C-alpha cells in the first residue's frame, strides 16, 4: 500500500522542504483516507513513514483510525527517494504481510505505475494521470516474500483520494 502525504503548505522563505506542515485541507483529508482504510480492512502490519513533517503528520492523523495502531518505523530513505530506493525499502522488509509506505511524489506515483500490470482499467487510467495528495493505492502482489518484488508484478486493488470518495457519495 502507498499513501502520499496530505496537502501541504508552500515553503516559506528559508524553510526546509522536509519541515513543511499540512494545511487545513490536508488535516481534513488524512483522516478521511484513514477511515476508508480502516472500514475496508486495509490495515498494515508495518508502516514505513518518511521523516518529512508532512508525512509524519499525515500518518499521525491516519493511524488513530485503526482499532490498534500499526507498527510504525520512520525510514529516512523514503524522503527524496527514487523508485529503486523505494524498491529497496520494500524488498528489505521481513516481518510484514501488509506493508504501507507513507511518502512523496514523484517516486510514489512512478513506483505504483511500475508495479501495476492489471486491475480495474478506469482506476488504472486515473492513477496514470497522477497520484494526488492523500492518494491511497493498494497493490495486490502474488509474491511470498517482499524480496521477490519486480516490475509489473501487481494488480491494482484500490486507488482512492478524498476527491474520489466525495464524488462517490454525491
Asked whether 149 and 116 are in contact (CB, 8 A), the reply is: no
- Sorting pLDDT into bands at 50, 70 and 90, what band is 83? very high
Question: How much is the average pLDDT of 122-133?
Answer: 95
Share of the chain above pLDDT 90, in %: 89
**CA-based torsion, 107, 58, 150, 160: positive or negative:** negative
* CB within 8 Å of 126: residues ≥ 6 apart: 159, 164
- Domains and their CATH numbers in the chain: 2-9+17-168 (3.40.50.1240)
Whether residue 169 is predicted with pLDDT greater than 80 in this model: the reply is no
C-alpha to C-alpha distance for 134 and 32, rounded to whole angstroms: 9
Cα distances from 8 to residues 28, 54, 162, in angstroms, run 12, 7, 15
Whether residue 170 is predicted with pLDDT greater than 70 in this model: the reply is no
8-17, 29-38, 74-83, 157-166: range with lowest mean pLDDT: 8-17
Return the pLDDT at 114: 97
pTM: 0.96
Amino acid at each position: 500500500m502507498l499513501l502520499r502525504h496530505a496537502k501541504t503548505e508552500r515553503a516559506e522563505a528559508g524553510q526546509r522542504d522536509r519541515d513543511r506542515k499540512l494545511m487545513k485541507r490536508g488535516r481534513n483529508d488524512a483522516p478521511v483516507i484513514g477511515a476508508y482504510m480502516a472500514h475496508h480492512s486495509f490495515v498494515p502490519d508495518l508502516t514505513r513513514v518518511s521523516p518529512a513533517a508532512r508525512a509524519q503528520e499525515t500518518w499521525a492523523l491516519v493511524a488513530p483510525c485503526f482499532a490498534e495502531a500499526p507498527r510504525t518505523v520512520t525510514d529516512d530513505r523514503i524522503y527524496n527517494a527514487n523508485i529503486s530506493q523505494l524498491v529497496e525499502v520494500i524488498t528489505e522488509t521481513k516481518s510484514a504481510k501488509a506493508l504501507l509506505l507513507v511518502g512523496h511524489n514523484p517516486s510514489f506515483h512512478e513506483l505504483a505505475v511500475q508495479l501495476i500490470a492489471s486491475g480495474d482499467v478506469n482506476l488504472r487510467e486515473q492513477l496514470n494521470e497522477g497520484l494526488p495528495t492523500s492518494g491511497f493505492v493498494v497493490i495486490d502482489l502474488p509474491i511470498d516474500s517482499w524480496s521477490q518484488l519486480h516490475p509489473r508484478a501487481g494488480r491494482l486493488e484500490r486507488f482512492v483520494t478524498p476527491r474520489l470518495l466525495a464524488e462517490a457519495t454525491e
